[in-house]
Amino acid sequence: MMVLALLTLLLHGALTGLFYAFSMSVMPGLNAIDPAQAEAAMRSINRKILNPWLYIAFMGSPLAALAAGIVGGSMWFYAAAAVNAVGSFLVTVAINVPMNNALDAGTMSYQEYAPRWTRWNTIRTVACAAGLVLAGVGLTTL
């Protein structure tokens, strides 16, 4: 159980850090350059980020938390899984990915994309951080 709880904490921390880095440095950095360059860079980032390391953290966070809740019987891990599933997974699938696709297809300008995408990414960051805290509390109750 301890290994599963620590894995949950690690995955939530990795995902929180990824989303945080985008909101506090990547997007402001892109916003400081020419919009056409920023758009090209974001398209490249969106393509390159789709790799096994992302999927491990993105899919693994809520699944590990759910598994830790089942194995350990702790509501804290169930709560971490729920917050992550709604605030990270659902927001990503319903909002951020469609925006990425629209940017890639040229149906959304970078000027439209950046503020909205960053706002929703910050929501993902907060949700993942909340999941991290919940998993941390769950770990202390083992």
In this structure, are residues 132 and 13 in contact, taking their beta carbons and an 8 Å threshold?
yes
Q: Is the pLDDT of residue 13 over 90?
A: yes
Q: Which pLDDT belongs to residue 30? A: 98
On whether the pTM is more than 0.85, the answer is yes
Q: Is the pLDDT of residue 137 over 90?
A: yes
pLDDT band at 106 (very low <50, low <70, confident <90, very high): very high
CA angle centred on 50, ends 49 and 51, rounded to 5°: 95
Mean pLDDT of 94-103: 98
75, 69 contact by CB (below 8 A):
yes
Angle between helices 110-140 and 97-105 (to 10 degrees): 160
- Residue 85 has a pLDDT of 97
Q: Which two tokens stand for residue 74?
A: 């702790």
49-70 average pLDDT score: 97
pLDDT at 142: 87
The separation between CA 105 and the C-alpha centre of its own chain, rounded to angstroms, equals 23
Closest CA to 23 of 125, 113, 132, 129: 125
Q: Is the pLDDT of residue 110 over 90?
A: yes
The mean of the pLDDT values for the chain is 97
Residue 93 carries which side chain, given as an amino acid letter? Answer: V
